[in-house]
């Protein structure tokens, strides 16, 4: 039995009720087809399109959603060109970019991962996390206060429903409680949450040693906890190595 050639168009004439020879229909078959000749053409057309564009299943990129075009500000998308993984600004109605930025993925991913891990060990990150943890403690206190005020509001409503207090008394008591609830909700909206960074500060050196053993989801989670996004500036035509000056990171902290 001959080996299957994945680059060769499938002979689907048989299931379309047609006789084929080397991909060319030579006659109607004596059996009924289970697809129509039109459907056969659609299958062949899709195969040819895939062969021309070398379309593959989507590949995961660790910086997906974190890169912006330095020309138009649009997000960069992952793409494979000539067997090389890249991040590109894609133009057209489906993407809305300018198409003016392309950067090879592996060296960029390595550079930004190293920058993230180095940043985890800086005193600035330790100070920032200390502030965030203080904010988290304040958030816990605010949640307790909010729950108490909501319980008091419920109790007040029950007293009014049972006619134990008048409408005037209910309105007078309700005002201060509502004001406290609104103020607390505003403070909670501004409070920070350090959950994503818990356990990461000061571990950059260790993570660097074990980085390649982490799965892509874990790598992406660590990077996203530290990096807000990175803007990629235009490169020098013909350059073969990554120019760090093209990369402008915006840090979460």
Mean pLDDT calculated for residue range 176-188: 84
Point out the least confidently predicted range of 104-108, 136-140, 159-163: 136-140
Point out the least confidently predicted range of 66-75, 150-159, 178-187, 239-248: 178-187
Q: Is the Cα torsion angle 146, 147, 150, 151 positive or negative in sign?
A: negative
The rounded percent of the chain whose pLDDT value lies above 70 is 66
CA gap 123, 116 in Å, rounded = 14
Start-to-end C-alpha separation, the chain: 62
Mean pLDDT calculated for residue range 186-199: 58
Residue range 193-243, pLDDT digits in tens: 445 566 676 778 888 888 989 889 889 988 988 898 999 999 888 888 899
- Predicted local distance difference test score (pLDDT) of residue 35: 59
More confident residue, 1 or 217: 217
Question: How far from chain centre, in Å, is Cα 196?
Answer: 15
More confident residue, 19 or 50: 19
Contact 97, 69 (CB under 8 A): yes
The chain-wide mean pLDDT, for the chain, equals 78
Strand partners, 250: 229
CA gap 108, 115 in Å, rounded = 11
Contact 23, 40 (CB under 8 A): no
More confident residue, 13 or 118: 118
- Predicted local distance difference test score (pLDDT) of residue 55: 45
Contact 63, 109 (CB under 8 A): yes
What would the two tokens of residue 176 be?
Answer: 């201060």
DSSP states along 25-69: EEEE-SS--SS-HHHHHHHHHHHHHHHHHT-------TTTT-EEE
CA gap 37, 164 in Å, rounded = 82
Residue range 53-100, pLDDT digits in tens: 454 444 478 999 999 999 999 999 998 888 889 999 999 888 889 999
Stated pTM of the model: 0.53
């Amino acid at each position: 039995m001959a080996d299957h050639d994945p680059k060769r168009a499938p002979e689907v004439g048989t299931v379309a009720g047609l006789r084929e020879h080397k991909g060319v229909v030579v006659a109607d078959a004596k059996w009924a087809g289970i697809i129509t000749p039109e459907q056969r053409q659609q299958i062949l057309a899709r195969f040819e399109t895939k062969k021309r564009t070398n379309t593959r299943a989507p590949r995961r990129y660790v910086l997906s959603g974190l890169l912006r075009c330095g020309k138009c500000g649009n997000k960069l998308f992952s793409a494979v060109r000539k067997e090389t993984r890249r991040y590109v600004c894609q133009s057209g109605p489906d993407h809305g970019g300018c198409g003016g930025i392309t950067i090879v993925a592996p060296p960029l991913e390595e550079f930004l991962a190293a920058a993230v891990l180095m940043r985890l060990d800086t005193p600035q990150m330790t100070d920032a996390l200390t502030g965030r943890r203080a904010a988290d403690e304040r958030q816990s206190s605010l949640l307790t206060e909010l729950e108490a005020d909501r319980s008091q509001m419920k109790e007040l409503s029950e007293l009014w429903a049972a006619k134990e207090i008048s409408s005037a008394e209910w309105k007078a008591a309700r005002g201060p409680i509502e004001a406290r609830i609104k103020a607390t909700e505003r403070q909670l909206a501004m409070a920070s949450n350090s959950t994503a960074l818990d356990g990461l500060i000061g571990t950059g050196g260790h993570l660097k040693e074990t980085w390649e053993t982490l799965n892509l989801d874990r790598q992406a989670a660590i990077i996203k906890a530290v990096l807000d996004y990175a803007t990629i500036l235009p490169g020098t035509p013909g350059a073969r190595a990554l120019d760090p000056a093209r990369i402008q990171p915006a840090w979460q902290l």
